[in-house]
Every structure is written in C-alpha cells, then in structure tokens.
Amino acid sequence: MITALYAGENGEIFDAPGYSGMGRIGAENVLLREEDLILLPESADLMFLPDRLAVGKQDGQVMPITGLAVAAILPAGYTRTHMPAYQKAETAEHLALYGYTAVVLYKEELYVAAIYTDENSKWDPAHYNTNELKKLVSRTKKDLKGNRIVEQVGNCSLKWHCCTAQNLFYRRWEAGIPTSPTCNANCFGCISLQPAECCPSPQSRITFKPTPQEIAEVGIYHLANAPEAIISFGQGCEGEPSLAADSIAAGIKIIRGKTQCGQININTNAGYTIGIKKIVDAGLDTMRVSIISGCADSYQAYYRSSYELENVIVSIRYAKEHGVYVSLNMLFSPGFNDREEEVIGWKTFLEKTQVDMIQVRNLNIDPDDFLAVMPPRKGQMVGTKAFLNELHQAFPKIVIGSFSHYIDK
C-alpha cells in the first residue's frame, strides 16, 4: 500500500495507516500509483506545509488527516510529477518559493512522485558550502581587489549559498557574473525582487551597473583558470542581463581579446531582441532562455513583461542563425505545462525556434498562488511523463534534461 504521511506539531513525520497516499496535479488531488514513484533522493529535503492539512483516501473517500501536509524538495536533476495533496485553511499564509513534491511511504521507505531527468555531478550539494569557502572568497577579493562583481557574488555565496556564485571562488565550472539591476518583466515568483502580495524573495538584487572592465576582469580570471569554465550573465540576484547589453558586449570583446578559453553564456528571458543581438554579435557561445509557456496569454500572465512572446522567438532565431547553442529553462508545474492547449503551444514554439535543449526545472512557487494568476484550464492534463515523451517524439533532436552542460565545439 502507498501510505500518506503527515507532520506533527513539532515537525516529526508520521505515516497514516489506512490512508492511501495522494498527490496533486494542477488543482486536483489524485491517488498515487506505483509507476509514479521513485525512492526519495539522498540529497532531498523534507518539510511540512503550514496551515495545510495532509489528505489521504480511506474507504473510497478523500479525507483530511489530523496533521500537516509533508513535501519533499528535490535536488536538481529530478522533475516532480505530482505536488503534495492538502486541504488548505482559509487563513493560510502564502508558501515560500520552493518546488513542493508529493512524498509517501511505500515498501517501508520514503518515495516521491518524480522522474530522474538528468545527471550532472557538478551540481551535487556536497561540492558546495564547504568549510574553506570563506577563505576562498577572501582570496579572490584580494586577487580582484575593488571589483564590485566579486563583492556581490561573495555575498551571494556566503549568505544565499548560490552555487554559480561559489564556483568563481572554487575556480571551476560555471560562474555567475551579475550585471543588471533592472528587468523588463515582473515575473510572478521572481527570486530577486518580489511584490508584497506574493511572498518574500530569497535573494537580494544587485544595486549597481558593472563596467565592461569589471566584467572582463572577472571573466578573464575565471575562464583562464577554471576547468570546463563557463561565465554566465543572468543570475538570481539580478534583473534581465540583456538590458546591460552595451556593457556585456564590450566586456566580452575585452575577454576574447585576452583568452579564447571556456564558454560565455547568458541566462535571459530573450525579450529585448536589440540587446540579445549585440551580445550574440560580441561572441556569445550559449544562451538559456527562461520560459513557462509557448502560449502568448499564459506567458504574459506569468512574466507580465514589456515585450511579447514573439520577441523571444525572434531573439532565439537570431542566436541560432549565428551559431549559439540555445537551451530553454522550462519552468514546470504539474497540471499546467502538460495541459492539452499548452502542449499545442509548446510544439508551435519549438517548431519556430528549433532550440538545442530543454532544461526542465521545477517551478518554485505556492501552487494555489500560481494557478490564481494563470489562465484557466481548457483541455485535459496529459501528465508529466506523457508530456515530455510527446515533445521527444515530435522533436527527437532536442535534448531533454535539467542542466547546462559544457559544450565541446
């Protein structure tokens, strides 16, 4: 039997014998099946959901359990197929920005409703937040004295535990270079600047505009010293990097005048096409585009942007035409992306853009808050596995995973 879990008053987790475990897709609580489940990953975290009772099915009826709902927070590389099932109190506060996943007891062990979508040991939590990190931050601050980018990512590393920030100080892999304090979108659930009606942001946004020289100094430092080095513009602590296109483009030209090592990437919404073109022309190698939908109305409901989805398509096509490897950072929520109308939108978008990769990322947000701002469902939900399989069948050349990988050219 797949058994529901609940949390006690002090956060202890218990199983609920006689209650079948359930998960949530969109706004619906459904029974979980064996084929929905995988063992709880070792680096996953468990938490309870305040003001939300656990629910299970008993004698054919969906019933609340006297205890709080329990969720798993999965490591990168795992895509959830179901969110936790719960009964929400009328006075419930908004949930913090996490990707809540259904977790149950099965065969005397904890299982989650998820699939394993990608492997990249570089993002294993064991590689980060080590005892020597503070010393390494101090070393780089001495090496690049007075560089405001280093000060910013040093704070992000020690306070917010950002992995791409930390890689600069570990001298390895992908390192973030934040550049833009402003944005051309007002995403619902933005992780660096959040209106009060939603929830607190987990990071603080950069407050200055780095110079091309500051950008180049950090870029050369990392690309010339790190194995499989990538520098990335567009981090959690900034707005839209293409709005700083003039500084980024000038910085890239200085970098490439000093070293041809490594790769230069941008994480972007790709809505400001003029800026994207400048950065591509300066020597961009890879681009990862944040996107939640291929349907214009759904896209605008979430991003609330000053540009249109069509601008994103134009930017991607320009980058592809100029040899840039393009990935999508697909923000995924079970019961939304896999709606029938959304599947049609995704296929149309992919046909127009011909991207190289889709990186599926669990959307970190309160499920009820999210559904409240998105268009209502029109068609059926096909399910996470069927959705991803359908995209793979329609576009077999597109890689579907979770991570940015170092691209050998």
**Residue 310: pLDDT over 80:** yes
**What number is the average pLDDT over the span 116-141?**
91
**Residue 108: pLDDT over 70:** yes
CB 74 within 8 A of CB 362: yes
**What number is the average pLDDT over the span 356-368?**
96
Confidence bin at 202 (pLDDT 50/70/90): low
Other C-beta atoms lying within 10 Å of the C-beta of residue 390? 16
Q: Which of 42-56, 110-124, 327-341 has the lowest mean pLDDT?
A: 110-124
Other C-beta atoms lying within 10 Å of the C-beta of residue 302? 23
Return the structure tokens found at 222: 């990392």
Question: Would you tell me which CATH number, out of the four given (3.10.440.10, 3.20.20.70, 2.40.30.20, 3.90.79.10), belongs to the domain 140-401?
Answer: 3.20.20.70
**Residue 43: pLDDT over 90:** no
What integer pLDDT is reported at residue 201 of this predicted model? Answer: 57
Confidence bin at 45 (pLDDT 50/70/90): very high
Q: Could you tell me the end-to-end alpha-carbon distance of the chain, in angstroms, rounded to an integer?
A: 50
Other C-beta atoms lying within 10 Å of the C-beta of residue 126? 9
Burial of 33 (0-12, 13-18, 19+ CB in 10 A): exposed
Q: Each residue of 81-94: pLDDT tens digit? A: 999 999 999 999 99
What integer pLDDT is reported at residue 196 of this predicted model? Answer: 47
**What number is the average pLDDT over the span 94-109?**
96
What integer pLDDT is reported at residue 319 of this predicted model? Answer: 98
What integer pLDDT is reported at residue 122 of this predicted model? Answer: 87
**What number is the average pLDDT over the span 59-72?**
95
CB 149 within 8 A of CB 165: no
**What number is the average pLDDT over the span 108-132?**
91
Domain ranges of the chain: 3-116, 140-401
**Residue 373: pLDDT over 50:** yes
CB 51 within 8 A of CB 67: no
What integer pLDDT is reported at residue 37 of this predicted model? Answer: 98
Q: Quick check: pTM over 0.85?
A: yes
